[in-house]
Structures are given as C-alpha cells and as structure tokens.
Copies of this chain bind each other. A is one copy, B any other.
Amino acid sequence: MFVDDLIKQPGLWSSDDLDAGIVVSSRVRLARNLKGAAFPGWAKEDERLRLCASIREACEAVPSLRHGVFLDMGELEKVDKDVLMERHLISHELAGMGAGSGVALRRDDNVAVMVNEEDHLRMQVISPGMSLHALWSIMDAIDSEFAEQIEYAFSPRLGYLTACPSNVGTGLRVSVMLHLSGLRLLNEIDPVVKGLDKIGLTVRGVLGEGSDADGNIFQISNQATLGESELEIVDLLAKVGAELVQHERNARARLLEDRRSFVQDYVGRALGILSHACLLSSGEVIDLVAALRFGVELGMVQKISPSELNEIMLLTQPGHLQKLYARVIHPDERDELRAQLVKNRVASCELVG
C-alpha cells in the first residue's frame, strides 16, 4: 500500500528550475550499531529477528519517524523492493535480505532507516538539489532521538563502532549526485575523479546498477569517517559540490561555444531513439533521457520539462513500470511497454537550432 502510493510521488531530480539541472540530489547517512549485540552479519537467525523487533520498536518511539511505516524484508514483494531501490530508499543488499531486516520510512519526506543491513541501523536523509547542511541538521536530530531509545556501540577512542572499519568514527557518509554531461562529453571526468580522490572523496556512477548506463550522473562522497568532525565532512562536500557545479557550467559554456553541432547531435540522437525505438532497456532510458535533459537545460529541446523527464526516468525502471501496470511483467515485454511509454511522453518534444 505504502509502495503503491510512492510511485505517484516525484523523484529526486524533479525540479523544473533549470539551474537545478546539475545537482540531482544530496544525501546524508549515518551507520549505528547497538551496544552488546553482534553485528547483523555475525548474528544468528533468532538474534537477528529479536534485534529487528526491538529496533522497530525504537523506530516507532522516535518522534521524527512518527506517522511512518516499517517494511519487513521478509514480507515485501520483489517488485516493492525494486521500487524502493529505484528511489534510493533501500540498498541492493537490504533488498536481498528476508525476515529480520527491514526499513522504517517517513511518509512526508525522504527519511529511511535500514535495519539489519550491514549495520544494525543505516539512517539516511535524501532530498533533491543541494541541501547538505539542512539534511545534516535533520539527521543529527534523528540520531539524538534514537540515542534516547537505544544504547549505541561507542568507543571513546574510535567513536561509533561499525561492521566495516571504513565506517568507524562518525559513521557518516555525505554525498551529492551531480549530472556532469558537459565534463563527460569533453572527456574531463577522469582528471576530476583523480583530483577528488586526492582530497579523500570518491566518485562513482550511481544509476543503472548492473549495466554500463549511468546517465552521466555521478555520486561524490567522503571516504574517511574517522579523524574529522561531522560538520567538517559536510562543509567539504558542500564546497566541492559547488566547485563541481561551476566546473560543469564552464564545460557547458565551452561546448556551446566550440562544439555546438557535436552537442546537438548527441541530444538529437537521444530524442531520435527515444521517439522511434520499439524496445528500450531501463539502462538505455537513463542514458538517453539524461542526454535529453541536458538538451533541455541547454535550450536545445523544447516542449518537455525537467520534471516530466524525471518522471520518465523513474517510471520506466523495472519496479515502477510493473507497479504502474499492476502486474509482474517479463523483461522482454517490459522493454516493449517501456518504449511505448517513452514514445508517448516525448512525442511533443521539439529540437531547436
């Protein structure tokens, strides 16, 4: 029921503000574990079930999660798990788990607390656009509310303890998702990736899991969780995010100045395929719709809005598509239905010189 309603909501990249085109979303995540309990990967079946039930109780007691839902991975259909993954509300790993793992979701905005994934608690707040400091305030409050319900595993020397050493300390992962088609088309992504690595940040494609498709959308996040305060990490990501936005703007300006027909070709072909293909995979839709969005942002495509494109990208993912048609659909048939849906939605689109 909750997931059925979810597919009607806009996704992350939903703003029609053209300036918002480069920043897809911001995310803040905390890893926490319970004192005196085995990490989920080491816990026996009955201990996992017991832990999950007690954390679920804590979730229900936490003020920030009131009016939310708790979804048990043992009870959720595959298609519902897919929808949650496609919205970045649960991880691929959690979706693979059954009873004893779950997720608490707040109905009104994008707060998700995964229970018994790699850690006992993986809490995240996610929102469209660049809003890291605001998200950190929300996360910090939720963290404090949980601390009143449960006792965290904490070492005065190391900080918060986690299943994987890479999260020990603050347990904080801060990330921004950026649409960097300009830098990608100019073959300037690799130097950016290397530069960010040097200052302790990781870059990776985030969409189209299991395919080569990424829609030129990259997630930038902190590597270290130890040795820096939460606010230092948030500050760094906000600063680097703003710089990358400026880099991308420069790249777009150079492309329009020096290589206009190359960009028009890139955008035109995307529209040509989206409007004429009869079979489309979800990965291909991500890449082509991102290219079309790039065209909209550069003023080369008219009569379709960024939020309409965002909706196409979201609704054509396997889980959303099956929810939309309210039935389980074989991948081959999905490719046909996806192509029809896309063809109808881009029919009014126009390329401008």
| Interface residues, chain A, with chain B CB atoms under 8 Å away | 261-262, 264-265, 268-269, 271-279, 336, 339, 351
Contacts and interface: CB of A to CB of B under 8 A. Distances in A.
Contacts of A275: 272, 276
A261 B276 contact: no
A269, A278, A279, most chain B CB atoms within 10 A? A278
A261, A262, A274, A339, most chain B CB atoms within 10 A? A261
A200 to B, nearest CB: 40
Contact of A272 (B264, B272, B336): B272
B273 A277 contact: no
Contacts of A279: 261-262, 265
A339 to B, nearest CB: 7
Contacts of A276: 268-269, 271-272, 275, 351
A271 B273 CA distance: 9
A269 B279 CA distance: 10
26 contacts: A261-B278, A261-B279, A261-B336, A262-B279, A264-B278, A265-B277, A265-B278, A265-B279, A265-B339, A268-B276, A268-B277, A268-B278, A269-B272, A269-B273, A269-B276, A269-B277, A271-B272, A271-B276, A272-B272, A272-B273, A272-B274, A272-B275, A272-B276, A272-B277, A273-B273, A275-B276
A215 B272 CA distance: 20
A275 B273 CA distance: 10
A114 B262 CA distance: 41
A103 to B, nearest CB: 37
Contacts of A262: 279
A265 B264 CA distance: 23
Given A268-B278, A272-B275, A276-B351, 16 more contacts: A261-B336, A264-B278, A265-B277, A265-B279, A265-B339, A268-B276, A268-B277, A269-B272, A269-B273, A269-B276, A271-B272, A271-B276, A272-B276, A272-B277, A273-B273, A275-B276
A217 to B, nearest CB: 23
A268 B279 CA distance: 10
A335 to B, nearest CB: 8
Contacts of A278: 261, 264-265, 268
Contacts of A336: 261
A345 to B, nearest CB: 15
A275 B278 CA distance: 16
Nearest to A274: B272
By Cβ-Cβ distance, the 9 closest A-B pairs, closest first, are A272-B276, A272-B272, A265-B278, A268-B276, A265-B279, A264-B278, A272-B273, A261-B278, A268-B278
